[in-house]
Amino acid sequence: MEPAEEQIDVAVIGAGPAGTAAAITLARAGIDVTVFDKATFPRDKTCGDGLTTLALRQLEQLGLDPADVASWIDVTDCFVTSPSGVSIHLPLPPASDGRFAAVTTRLDLDAALVDLARKEGATVVEGAGLTAAREESNAVVLRIGADGADEREVRARWVVAADGMWSPTRRALGLAEPGYRGEWHAFRQYVGNVGERAATELHVMFEADIVPGYFWSFPLPGRRANIGFGIQRGGKVPVGDMGPLWEDLLARPHIRDLLGPDVTPEAPHRAWPIPARIDTAVTSTPRVLFTGDAVAACDVMTGEGIGQALLTGVRAAESIRDRAAVGDVATHYHRTVTEELVADHRMSQLLVRALQHRKGARAAIRVAGATPWTRRNFARWLFEDSPRGIAFTPSRWHRGALSGPGAYRS
């Protein structure tokens, strides 16, 4: 590389939830931050589009107003179906207690977060991805451009890598793991003209031939829905068979009944891998902090990753903000991520083992639906209202840890 021409405090690679959360947090602290993304916004991102309580609380703290997200829809009714076809209703708390689950397209959510980052003072450069990187003792030298055209060199004191599972930053620094394809693989398709239930209710169906994977139907405004399914990589269903399996799933009577007779596809289905190995992933180098999918932070049981992306982005920014002068940014970030996510990850791994078998899935759903109390509290727990690994993390033991209000409580 030639000598860098530009110098900034923090470069964020990637303008998804992790990157924008980091940029918003840094900009509010008065730190010079520039976000680079190879895409231009709004842009679609293949995802289930579900927002857990973890994600909602992070968005609230960042100051994102749901009114600024066109496709936002709150969810209060969740239905979970066992492999034997038994369905239970899991009601979430009333709106007066706040929001506990919502759905919005990533097209709208990510664009709103980019707008908020700019409003807070961050510089966002679109159509400019990372093509090379070199870490030095006191900075990281980055080459930024679009397919080799109009490249620029930037010297950043710190880098937040929020650039996805196949992180170009990780690859440029020689930290990529050859052959890694994630722990899960998922299909997603947007459909319209869905029936009344699919238009308003959130459904999770543990189909007998794909457990611990599941089929989902998440509502969107305008009688639309995000539907899809996920499978465990290396499990009973080969990834290469997902296409035919998708057609088979859509033809099953209970799924057809849910979606309604007039359902129409709005676009072809899309597939994507889900990285969920936060317990073994490299979280940082001395001056680069990996966040979101770049640190494999997705939930290993549900595949959800938006809340974890937002959380890791905020924690990376806070580590730079609070620990740069002390000199232990990377160490502090690693410790924080470990304390907040690894125990939950390991608990989810245990639950996945139970769900791998039909009997385990049936038993779990039977217990969840036993009483009104179990139905209500299982719904909150399922949507990460309380940390799954709380039993292993005494620092979280405090009054209200399992029953706090949701986000955006009026």
Residue of 255, 361, 345, 343 lying closest to 300 (CA atoms)? 345
Q: What pLDDT does residue 168 have? A: 97
Question: CB of 282 within 8 A of CB of 290?
Answer: yes
CA dihedral of residues 250, 252, 254, 259 (deg, nearest 10): 20
385 φ/ψ angles, rounded to the nearest 5 degrees: -70, -30
Tally Cβ neighbours within 10 Å of residue 410: 7
Question: CB of 271 within 8 A of CB of 238?
Answer: no
Q: Is residue 131 part of a domain?
A: yes
Query: If residue 214 lies in a helix (H) or strand (E), which one and from where to where?
Result: strand 214-220
Peptide bond into 261 cis (omega under 30): no
Peptide bond into 42 cis (omega under 30): yes
Alpha-carbon gap, residue 101 to 92, rounded angstroms: 8
Tally Cβ neighbours within 10 Å of residue 1: 11
Q: What pLDDT does residue 349 have? A: 74
User: Which residues are paired to 77 by β-bridges?
Assistant: 91
Q: Is residue 136 part of a domain?
A: yes
Alpha-carbon gap, residue 323 to 333, rounded angstroms: 9
Residue of 1, 334, 341 lying closest to 151 (CA atoms)? 1
State the pairing for strand pair 184-192/123-126.
unpaired
Q: What pLDDT does residue 324 have? A: 95
Alpha-carbon gap, residue 83 to 135, rounded angstroms: 50
Domain containing 158 — which CATH number?
3.50.50.60
Domain, as residue range, for 158: 6-50+106-180+276-348
User: Which residues are paired to 188 by β-bridges?
Assistant: 228, 270
Tokens of 114: 């980019």
Q: Is residue 223 part of a domain?
A: no
Q: Is residue 203 part of a domain?
A: no
Q: What pLDDT does residue 153 have? A: 94
One-letter amino acid for residue 232 of the chain: Q
Residue of 304, 306, 310, 393 lying closest to 347 (CA atoms)? 393
Enter the DSSP assignment of 207. Answer: -
Residue of 315, 319, 379, 389 lying closest to 351 (CA atoms)? 389
Q: Is residue 27 part of a domain?
A: yes
Alpha-carbon gap, residue 6 to 32, rounded angstroms: 12
Q: What pLDDT does residue 383 have? A: 72
Q: What pLDDT does residue 209 have? A: 92
Q: Please count the structural domains in the chain.
A: 1
Q: Is residue 122 part of a domain?
A: yes
Q: What pLDDT does residue 345 have? A: 81
Q: Is residue 327 part of a domain?
A: yes
**This prediction's pTM:** 0.93
Burial class (CB in 10 A: 0-12, 13-18, 19+), 2: exposed
Phi-psi region of 70 (alpha: psi -120 to 50; beta: other; left: phi over 0): alpha
Mean per-residue pLDDT pooled into runs of 10, the chain (410 residues): 74 98 98 97 96 95 97 94 90 86 97 98 97 96 80 95 97 94 95 97 94 95 97 88 96 98 95 95 97 95 92 98 96 95 80 66 68 71 65 61 77
Q: How far is CA 37 from CA 1, 57, 68, 391, 403, in A?
A: 21, 25, 22, 39, 38
